[in-house]
Structures are given as structure tokens and as C-alpha cells.
Amino acid sequence: MTILDDMITDILDREGRVYENHPNDRGGPTKFGITLGRLQQERGRATWQDVRDLTEAEAREIYKLAYYDRPKIERLPDELEAAVFDFYVNSGTWAVKKLQQMLNQLGFKCAVDGGIGPETVRQAYACLDKYDAGSVLKLYFEIRREFFRSIVRSNPSQGVFLKGWLNRVDGLEKKVLEGGWIATTRAA
């Protein structure tokens, strides 16, 4: 099993493995964290019944292709991959935009466009050459928490999800910072 498989398993554990259709969930019908909209994008067309019948194997493939491969998460430093991947699952390109904003804030200038291109990759590596990965990750996780709080401030109906979102970030932060998914191959 690869680290990506482990990350996807962790996401599946947090997302849940049952069909749900919460009235306040903007994603609509969901299973394994895969929404009807995402399933329609991947298959070309899908119904709520297709979401209900989604297999874990297909959900895993969707996570790999739509949330890891296509956005090019693998180009980022190993230390950042799990944090950006999990955020991307929840929030799409906002995960990368928030990373880019953080890099700019720390003095590593790059466009805030939501894409993982050469400039973002170069600046992410430069940032980790200058700053401790743990400190950078703590800042990124706090930026993610604030992003979720801002969603609730602008749309109070989403408040029902805030505790779960924050618990998700807290759990992932603990796992990443305790060494679960930080590569040890980079020079200290």
C-alpha cells in the first residue's frame, strides 16, 4: 500500500462510507465524500441512485484522479502533500489558492491562481528550505480553519458542518505533524 492509498483511506474514514443527503450540504447526495456533481463530472452523467450505489473502489479512483493527479498534488514537497490533498477534497482549488497566499505571505512570491505550476512548486520547495516544515504546516492548517470559519460567516446555514470541518483539520494536523505523512528524505 502506498502513502497515497493511506491518504485516501484516511479521507474515506473521515468522509464516511454511507450514502447521505443532508439538506444543508451544498454538495447534495454524497457517498464516501463523493458528491453527485463530482460523480457526474467523472462519469458524464449520474443520478442520486448512482451515488448510493457507488463502490469504494470507484471512490478511491475518483480521489486519485480528480483530487490528486489532475491538480498535480504530487509536484508539491512531500511534507505538504497530505495537507493540500485533503483540503483539495473539501474545497477544490481553494486549497491551492490558500497555499499560494501563504507562500506570498511568507515572502515566496507566486501567482494566486489555484494551479500547481512550476512557480508554485519552486516557491513551496524554497519555503521549506527556509522554514521548518512543521511551522509551515501549522500555519497552513490554521489558514484552512479560518477558511471554514469564513464560509460560515458568509453563509450561516453551513454552521452545522463547522465542528466536523474543524475536527477533520485537527485530526489531520495531528497525524501529519506526528510524522505519519511527512517524508524523511529531505535534508534537515
pLDDT in tens, 50-81: 999 999 999 999 999 999 999 999 999 999 99
**Lowest-confidence segment of 10-24, 132-146, 148-162 by average pLDDT:** 10-24
41 half-sphere exposure, CB direction, 13 A CA radius: 12
pLDDT tens digits along 137-158: 999 999 999 999 999 999 999 9
Residue 179: pLDDT above 90? no
Burial category of 145 from C-beta neighbours within 10 Å (exposed 0-12, middle 13-18, buried 19 and up): middle
CA distances 93 to 3, 70, 179, 186, Å, are 22, 11, 26, 27
